[in-house]
Each structure stands twice: as C-alpha cells, then as structure tokens.
Amino acid sequence: MVKMAGRLRGLVAIAAACVCVHAWAGPGWRLSRTDHFELYSQSDDAARPLLAWFEQLRAFYLQQPLVKLDALPPVRLIVFASEKEYEPYRLRATSDAYYAGGSGHHYIVMSARSASEFRIAAHEYAHFVLNASGVRLPPWLNEGLAEMLSTVHVSESFCEVGGDLPVHSRLLRQRVWMPLRELLSESPARDGRENAALFYAQSWALAEMLALSPEYGARFAQLMVAADGRPGVEALGEVYGKSPETIESDLRAWVDKRAAKPMHLPGAAAAALSVQVSDVPALAAQSILADALVTSGELDRAAALYSEMARVAPEAANVSAALGAIALRKGDAAGAREQWKRAIEQGVADAEVCYRYAILADAAGLTPAEIRPALERAVSLQPDFDDARYKLALLEKNAGHLEVALAQFRAMRKIAPARAFSYWSAVADTLNELAMREEALSAARQAAEHAHTEDERSRAAQLAYFAETDLAVQFTRDSSGRAQMVTTRVPHAAADWNPFVEAGDDVRRVRGALREIDCSGGVTRIRLESAGAMLTLAIADPSRVRMRNAPEELVCGTQSGEAVWVEYAASKRGGADGLVRGIEFAGLK
C-alpha cells in the first residue's frame, strides 16, 4: 500500500510537470481585444471573424428580456492552436470546449477546431448568459437549453433559434434512451463519449420541446423559475402537472415528428468592430491559463502551473497571490496567509489580496503592527475600498490611535445598511474618547436610527449618555455599610455636582440661617432656621461634606445666623432631620 501510494504521488508529480512543460513549450500567445471580449489565441488568423461572431451573439442576447451583460467584465476566450495544445486543459474527456465563470472572470476555453464550429462557441456563450442571469438550473436544463441556443442564427435583418440538430436526432432514433427520471437527476450519467452524447441529445430534445411546443411552451418561463436550484422531477411536476413517464412519452412523439420550426426574432446588429492586437508575454499567458483552471475548479492543476511560474519568476507577486487564493479554497488558511504575505512584500497591486490577508492575519491573532501595513496598502491601492478602511479604522481605534481611526472612518465613501449601526456606534465611541461631545451625540443618534434590537438601542442610548455627561466619583456604601468611592457620570460641566451624595439619598436643598454648631456629642449637628422652622442636621464625617466658600475655621456653639445653602439627605434617624452632604457659604446676607 505504501509503495502504491508513492507511485501515485510520483505519477501526479510527473503529470503536473508535463502540463507545465507542455504549456511553456507551446506556440506564443496573442491577445485580440474588443470592448466585450478578450481573445487569447496561439494563432490570430481567425481572431477577427470569431470576435465578430461573438459581438453579434452578444447583440442578440442584449435584445432579450432580463438579460443584462453591461456590468460584467469582458469574456476571456482562450483558443488553443490544436487539440494537442488543448488537451492538458480539457476538463473531461468529453469536453471539446467549456465555459467557466466566477466572481472574477468568465472564460470560454476551446481548440481552434472547436472555435471554427460556431455552434460550439454559441453553446458555451449561452452558458455564460445563463450564469450571468443568476439562475441555478439543473444539468439537463442547463445543457439542453445551451444546445438549443447553439442553433442561433444572427443577422442584421432577422434572428432564428431552434430547429433540427441532425447529430442529436439521429442518435435519439438509434440509441436506447436513458430513463427520464435519470436524465432529470442531479448527477445524470455523462461519463464516456457515448453516454455524454446521449445526455446532450436527450437534454436538447427535452428543452426544445418544453420551450417551443404549443403544449408546453406557454409555461416555459414558469419552469425556469421553478427549476432554479430545485430537482427537475419536482419542477416539471409543479409547472405542468404531469408525471415523468407522460412527459417522456410526449418527448418521443416530439422527436419522431420533428415538427419544430425555428423561432423567428428581430435582427441584431453589433457595433462596428474595433480590434486591438498585442503579444502576450509567456508569464502573463501562463497566468491566464492557470486562472482559467482555478475558475473551473481544477485547483491542483492550477497550483502546479503557478508553482512552476513561481520557480521561474520567484518575485512575481500575482503568482504568490494566486497560490494564496488556491490554498484558501482548499481550506489551508495558514498557507493562504503565508502566500499573501509574500505577495504583499513583493508589491502586489491587488487591494483585495491585501484585505483578505488582513482578515486571515486578524483571525490568526497576529499583532496590529503585522496587520496594519496590509490594510494601509489596500486603501492606498483602492481609496474607495470601504471594507478595508473600516477594518483599519477599528484596528487604529483598538490600538488607541483615535485621531487616525476617526480619519479612516470619515474617509469611507458609503455606509452599507448592514454596517450602519456598527459604524455609527464606533464613530460615536471614538468621538466620546476624543471629548468631541456634540459630534459624538450626533453619531449616537445616527446609531439609534439604525438600531434593530433592544441591545443595539440600549447601546446607542448609552453612547448618547456618555456624550452628555462626564466621568466623576461618588461616595456610596457597600453591603456592610462601609463607605467607598465609586465612579459615576454627571451632566457635562455640572457646577453643582456633589460626590458625597450617595445612591438612594432623598436629597433636599434649603436656604436658611445657621444658628448653631453642636459639637458636644459623638456626631456634630447643625441647627438651621429656614422658613420659620428649625432643622437639625447631622454631620457624620466632616471630611465627607462638600464645603463651598466656607470660612477658614468653624467654631462650635451659637452662630451669628449667617445665610447658607445646605444640601442634605432627609432622614429621621438619630434625632436629626437628615445628614448633611454639602454646605455653601455664599456670602449671603
């Protein structure tokens, strides 16, 4: 078993090396570019006719309802000089051409022979259009519809879709069909050319009947919605109310009669063709080919190509960046972090790579000093990269660099609704720390407007409270009755704050004439004449009474009746009307 595993690893390594050597040794690449397509070919003899065909095809689809292609990047067409050159990049033995699309680029990959058959090119472009529409069709409908659309004829005067595909019609008359339930499954048999040919033929016939026949065609739009991400049997039953067996019987009759005629549509005229042609350096060509493999999900084959490029060009930042992306897709976060760190050190010009590295670095517990340069580079490369700015602002805030954090918060171009509460909360907190009270209060109110939960509303109210108050100390008592100092908040710039007022005090404030200071007992008492009545107030601890404008020395005994303001906690304990918390001698007469 060990020897067998070793041999398998050796074969994989040899295969990967062969792919790399073959790709490097092939003919040079040329790029022919229009506004909507980038054609990479090993021979540009047929580049212009192929680009003209794709531009016309695009014009046809733009006339169809709900098809929107303008926001997408140019489709990359890769055309190999021969089947031999194409072979290392073939996805399956039956793939004469293929479409691969993702969040970055869209590729159509084929040999020159397949490119010369415009029907194959039209099939793959149909996959691109379906992908761009955002629907997730099951395999039979995805491929069947692409086959039907491959029959498109486009001209300025008229367009046609549909009609016979003799290669499929003949096969369906000669071969035993696969059961319709199997065709409609999530993984229909497509291994081997014979099974693949039957799958495509049956899928084409079924899609054409459902789209074009009088009995089924009127509900085809409903089927496209119902089949989005759902099993085929379930979707067909819901839309047409028929069993798979009944539909299969109808399909056999449809194939036998071949009564379908092409659907006629208005003509489509593409804009005047303007093609720019340039040579593609070997490393750039390799990057395009490897990215096509990544987009196709062929991660190991792509990694082999990129690793070979890294050996030949060790300082290529885009190669390190690509290896990092592959590592992450394979679940290797540490490997991705290592490759992206190298890419940043090599001067990568991709802001997304810098940001994604920072996310991984933060998750791994790296220090702000290790994360900050990546985020700073991201916003330098792409000033409107709000995700990176937000991450950088939070990093600086947590590091105590409040002015820098605030500048990053304010540099954000757009606050996404999903982030609005968190954003305004962080801004309000930063402004509070900087004692910018009015702006902090405004930000806290913005946070309150975007709060969705009780906790968020409570947090926004707290931030507003912080903006309107100052931190102060206050005396209180613990569970044993011992006095202790605690922090509290008081209204901003409150002139009459008394830290000796304790929580739970029934505080009262009176003006009167000071008649006596009685020091004869264990507790000092004062007697105050106010509103014609005498109040007796206790001073338990003179050090815990706020004295304002007091004389340098107070003498026990009868007093002259000096006017004072007294703040006290009302209480009837110990023969007193309350406990003195503050006395103000304001020079009152």
Per-residue pLDDT of the chain (589 residues; tens, 9 = 90+): 333 333 333 333 334 434 443 444 456 899 999 999 999 998 777 889 899 999 999 999 988 877 788 778 899 999 999 899 999 998 888 888 999 987 678 999 998 888 778 889 999 999 999 888 887 889 999 999 999 999 999 988 889 998 889 999 999 999 999 999 999 887 777 777 888 899 999 999 999 999 989 899 999 999 998 888 777 788 898 999 999 999 999 999 999 887 667 888 888 888 889 999 999 998 899 999 999 999 999 999 999 999 999 999 999 999 999 999 999 999 999 999 999 999 999 999 999 999 999 999 999 999 999 999 999 999 999 999 999 999 999 999 999 999 999 999 999 999 999 999 999 999 999 999 999 999 999 999 999 999 999 999 999 999 998 888 776 555 566 667 676 655 556 677 666 778 787 777 888 889 999 999 999 888 899 999 998 899 999 998 888 888 888 888 888 999 989 999 999 999 877 789 999 999 998 764 4
Residue type, 582: G
CA torsion 131-132-134-137 (nearest 10°) is -20
As a whole number of angstroms, the distance between CA 200 and CA 194 comes to 10
pLDDT of residue 63: 87
Please name the fold of domain 504-588.
OB fold (Dihydrolipoamide Acetyltransferase, E2P) (2.40.50)
Q: For residue 89, what are the CA distances in angstroms to 130, 298, 330, 550?
A: 23, 9, 20, 94
Token pair of 44 as six digits: 């540009």
As a whole number of angstroms, the distance between CA 212 and CA 262 comes to 9
Q: Positive or negative CA dihedral for 148, 151, 153, 158?
A: negative
Exposed (0-12), middle (13-18) or buried (19+): which is 476, by Cβ within 10 Å? middle
Contact 4, 12 (CB under 8 A): no
Tokens 């406990």 -> residue: 579
Q: Residue 48's Cα: distance from chain center in Å?
A: 38
Strands (E), 358-494: 469-477, 483-491
pLDDT of residue 473: 56
Token pair of 26 as six digits: 């092939």
Strand order in the sheet with 106-111: 97-101, 106-111, 75-80, 37-41, 29-33, 276-280
Which residues on adjacent β-strands are paired with residue 265? 159
Q: For residue 78, what are the CA distances in angstroms to 3, 110, 294?
A: 39, 6, 14
As a whole number of angstroms, the distance between CA 475 and CA 498 comes to 9
Q: Which of 497, 547, 498, 548 is nearest to 524 (CA)?
A: 547
* Axis crossing angle, helix 166-174 with helix 244-257, rounded to the nearest 10: 120
pLDDT of residue 466: 86
As a whole number of angstroms, the distance between CA 296 and CA 306 comes to 15
Token pair of 457 as six digits: 């509303």
As a whole number of angstroms, the distance between CA 151 and CA 165 comes to 8
pLDDT of residue 295: 93
The number of C-alpha atoms within 13 Å of 164 and in the hemisphere containing its C-beta is 12
pLDDT of residue 483: 60
pLDDT of residue 133: 82
pLDDT of residue 118: 86
As a whole number of angstroms, the distance between CA 153 and CA 268 comes to 10
Prediction pTM value: 0.71
Q: How is the chain split into domains, by residue range?
A: 163-261, 504-588
End-to-end CA distance of the chain: 107
